[in-house]
Amino acid sequence: MGEERIAVYPGTFDPLTSGHECLIRRGLELFDTVIVAVARDCGKNPLFSLEERVDIVREVFGSTPGVKVMPFAGLLVEFAAANNAKAILRGLRAVSDFDYEFQMALMNRKLEKRVQTIFLMSDLRWMYISSTNIRNVASLGGDVRRLVPDTVIPRLRRAYGLPETWPEVSVGSKSLLGAAACSVPETENGAD
């Protein structure tokens, strides 16, 4: 039996989106283990605490073999090396993501030559979503079902003080359900 293939998928996951979930599942097709590394030092003002973000990912992947969820702080490549990961898994939604990700990959390679960066293109149906977009739409009462795992909805409801009927009855009738239910066929495991 060969060496275990371990990848680290880092992010703030504030909140975890369906795009993140899909990328993690696709990562499991390439690696034996995907460590979802929830960043403490994100340079942002997160909606959810580090503990809440870790809990969300654990709730979604709790019974999924090969997924480990860990908080981390400091340099990503040091975290990857300390956990015997040979790869950092990154998702790309558009060309605009590439410039930043390319620079980070080169810096990480300079810091730790044993850790490679692997880019996966986002599935077409998730290319337009980001955690920032989800927070913005939810904060205004818009319907983000199908764009985030089910476990995220009650947390967004509490964080923004939305009524118990949200998102079934969207505040101000803002809904993204039509956008999420695009013509791209879904497969059984949610990945194309």
Which residues participate in catalysis according to the annotation? 20, 44, 93, 131
Whole-number Å distance between alpha carbons of 106 and 183: 36
Half-sphere exposure of 87 (CA within 13 A, CB side): 17
